[in-house]
Structure 1
Amino acid sequence: MKPAARTTKKPSPVAGKDEAIDYKNLELLAKCLSSQGQIVSRRRTGLNSQRQRELKNAMKRARHMALLPFVA
């Protein structure tokens, strides 16, 4: 049997940076959306729980202000 192929994790667009997560930063928020318009999980973004909550609230605020789509 072949050993399982190892995949490398992509660097997170948010993790490790001191950049503030803000609803006006659409470039950053768009990187954390899946192709269906859903928020990507913590496992994929590499964020801690506090930063993930900030991301969630920024996404909701941007969607409410019609800066981001609810569904792609």
Structure 2
Amino acid sequence: MKTIYDFKVKTIEGKETTLEPYKGKVLLIVNVASKCGYTPQYDGLETLYKKYKDQGLVVLGFFS
């Protein structure tokens, strides 16, 4: 049975990896749609990350 950690994703550098390195963390996975150039959501995501990172939060942004 597959888990979320088995999914293959691409890093910002374009390299293929899995979510395995984030095992044990709290993941917030978002579609940031950064190719459009309109990215006001980054400020809120950064604020959220700074507030909860010490409790294990990781924000993973992807675009399609």
TM-score by structure 2 length? 0.30
Normalised by the length of structure 1, the TM-score is 0.28
Q: Which has the higher strand share?
A: 2
